[in-house]
A = this chain, B = another copy of it.
Amino acid sequence: VTAKTWLLTDVERDIYIDQIELGPREAGGSAQGYSVRKRRLRGGLRDGVDAVEVDTGALRFTLLPTRGMGLWRAEAGSLRLGWSSPVRGPVHPQFVPLMEPAGLGWLSGFDELLVRCGLESMGPPQFDDDGRLVHPLHGRIANQSAHRVEVAIDGDTGEIAVTGVVDEARLFHNKLRLTSTVRTRAGGTSLTITDEVTNLSARPGELELLYHINLGRPLLEPGAKLSVPLAALAPRTPRAAEGLAEWDSYGPAEPGFAEQVYFTQLHADAEGQTRALLRNARGSQGVSLRFNTRQLPWFVVWKSLEPDEDGYVTGLEPALNLPNSRSFEKQQGRVAVLAPGAAVRFDLELELHASPTGVERAQQAIDQLQAARPIIHDRPPQGWTAP
């Protein structure tokens, strides 16, 4: 038995499957105990959102083709990843006023575990000389709907892959394509994301990208800790500088907590591989994030420790560039330019640790990468933060 594939959506060929459930019976082979289920959500702000739910037997997660192949939630046993947003998502793009004049409409759809910021732009909204919005907060890709969705299952190895293709394209503008494949395996507790961004145009294309990975309770709690092989760090703002000494640990919620953001660079192995670990206070559970600093040279930490009802959440954010205004990033040479037809690839792995053993092993791996003492800036170095 080799991998079988199911095409769930392909607008070119007029294919759309409203609902399907796939498992060992459909895939054949010897692997057992997993399922892939696709359905359309209904009601409230989620009305019309397509969801692909993958269950490995040990890990369950939900992908959102309607929201740029975002990752909504993941859980392994009692360990649930994600956060409780003031918005009850997942939110269909029809309810997200992305282009509202102040440029903050993106927040109306923000409730995923993993949401991509980009592709033409990310970071704060940017306006033209007449004060008109040009680039909305965190860009357009998270509110674009996939035009192709495919599931592949190898019934023998138990490998499961979900691929979605999402365009961010417009006549006379940037024409970028995201092809995202999320892979896991029957019985596994981790998932990998392989993203390829292709410039469809015969003109050069420009790319900004940040993976906004958002974690709240129960993992995030007072005493929770972030471990990374830190090379350098700077607070983005004076407000962030206030919390510099505790940048990698989390306190209790504070009503009116003003967000703190840290820009960091991490050590990596010879291949550029690095990792981050967020663990709870007791170290009994955690989540590891692996990525490559050659692909994603920055790692941004966002802390927004408001009470649950307002969002108690941290963002772990591997990034191609920094979330400053697009013009500043361009000036700093951090906006990637893709030649006509060129593609770049980004790999991420998320591993859930439901037991102390997993957490310890992840910590050891990070300790091994911690080559030298990090440089901690008490304010942003030249070129890191837009003035």
A12 within 8 A of B: yes
The answer to whether A102 touches B131, judged by C-beta atoms less than 8 angstroms apart, is: no
In the complex, the answer to whether A98 meets B101 with C-beta atoms within 8 Å is no
Shortest distance between the CB of A115 and any CB in chain B (Å): 12
Q: A11-B44, A107-B173, A127-B130 known; 5 other A-B pairs, CB under 8 Å? A: A47-B145, A93-B94, A101-B132, A171-B310, A202-B310
What 1/0 mask marks residues of chain A from 318 to 334 whose CB sits below 8 Å from any chain B CB? 00000000000000000
Q: Inside 8 A of A367's CB, which chain B residues have their CB?
A: none
Chain B interface: which of A81-89, A182-190, A228-236, A370-378? Answer: A81-89
Render A1-42 as a binary contact track against B, CB cut-off 8 A, 1 for contact: 000000001111011101000000000000000000000011
Given known A-B contacts A108-B170, A131-B130, A175-B310, A147 and B88 have beta carbons under 8 A apart: yes
Q: How far is the CA of A114 from the CA of B148 in the complex (A)?
A: 26
In the bound complex, CA of A266 to CA of B50 (Å)? 50
Structural contact, A200 and B99, CB atoms closer than 8 A: no
Q: Are B171 and A44 in contact (CB under 8 A)?
A: no
B99 touching A11, Cβ below 8 Å = no
Given B44, B134, B255, which contacts A147 in the complex, CB threshold below 8 Å? B44
- Chain B residues in 8 Å Cβ range of A145: 43-45, 47, 95
Could you say which residues of chain B place their CB within 8 Å of the CB of A307?
202
* Chain A residues close to B by CB (< 8 Å): 9-12, 14-16, 18, 41-48, 50, 85-88, 93-95, 97-102, 104-105, 107-108, 110, 127-128, 130-134, 144-149, 167, 169-173, 175, 200-203, 253, 255-256, 304, 306-307, 309-311, 340
A46 B88 Cβ-Cβ under 8 A: no
- Chain B residues contacting A18 (CB-CB under 8 Å) are 42
Q: Once bound together, how far apart are the Cα atoms of A97 and B145, in whole Å?
A: 14
Out of B44, B148, B200, B309, which one reaches A86, CB within 8 Å? B200
26 pairs, CB–CB < 8 Å, chain A vs chain B = A9-B43, A10-B43, A11-B43, A11-B44, A11-B45, A12-B88, A43-B147, A44-B145, A44-B148, A86-B175, A87-B171, A97-B98, A99-B99, A99-B100, A99-B101, A99-B105, A101-B132, A101-B133, A102-B132, A102-B134, A110-B171, A131-B132, A200-B309, A202-B309, A202-B310, A203-B310
Contact of A203 among B48, B102, B171, B255 (CB under 8 A): B255
Chain A interface helix/strand/loop/mixed: loop
Q: Please give the count of copies of this chain that the complex contains.
A: 3
From the candidates B110, B133, B149, name the one contacting A100 in the complex (CB within 8 A).
B133
Q: A167-B88, A170-B107, A171-B85 are in contact. Are A201 and B310 (CB under 8 A)?
A: yes
Contacts of A99 in B (CB 8 A): 97, 99-101, 105
- Asked if residues A202 and B255 are in contact (CB atoms below 8 Å), the reply is yes
Contacts of A93 in B (CB 8 A): 94-95
What residues of chain B lie closer than 8 Å to A169, measured between beta carbons?
Answer: 86-87
> Whole-angstrom distance from the CB of A205 to the nearest CB of chain B?
11
Asked if B95 contacts A203 (CB within 8 A), the reply is: no
Residues of chain B within 8 A of A110, CB atoms compared: 171
Interface core residue of A44, A107, A130, A202 (most chain B CB under 10 Å): A44
Task: Return the chain B residue nearest A48 by Cβ.
Answer: B47
The residue on B at minimum CB distance from A110 is: B171
CB of B171 within 8 A of CB of A86, answer yes
B309 and A201 form a contact (CB under 8 A)? yes
- The reply to whether A340 and B255 contact each other, CB–CB distance below 8 Å, is yes
